Amino acid sequence: MEDIKLIDFGMARFLPTSASSGRAAAMTAGVGTQFYMSWAKMHGKKLNLSYDGRDDVWAVG
């Protein structure tokens, strides 16, 4: 029987909030490993593409 391993790299963090609205500010930097990112996530901002749960399936393979 094989063991299942779960790895947490601790990349989660709190986003700064806007003082006027109390909402989290949008992140402008892309985060992820290039070879595991879907095409839409890598090029979405400049081509006005959105990404969703299907991109997670792309990453898992």
Does position 33 have pLDDT exceeding 70, yes or no?
A: yes
7-11, 20-24, 33-37, 44-48: segment of lowest average pLDDT: 20-24
The ranges assigned to domains in the chain are 26-60
Mean pLDDT value across residues 20-31: 57
Single-letter code of the amino acid located at 26: A
Mean pLDDT computed over 18-36 = 61
Asked if 38 contacts 44 with a C-beta cutoff of 8 angstroms, the reply is no
Distances in Å between the alpha carbon of 49 and those of 1, 12, 19, 29, 43? 43, 24, 29, 16, 8
Handedness of CA 11, 30, 17, 23 (dihedral sign): negative
Per-residue pLDDT at 61: 56
Q: Quickly list H helices, 1-61.
A: 39-47, 53-60
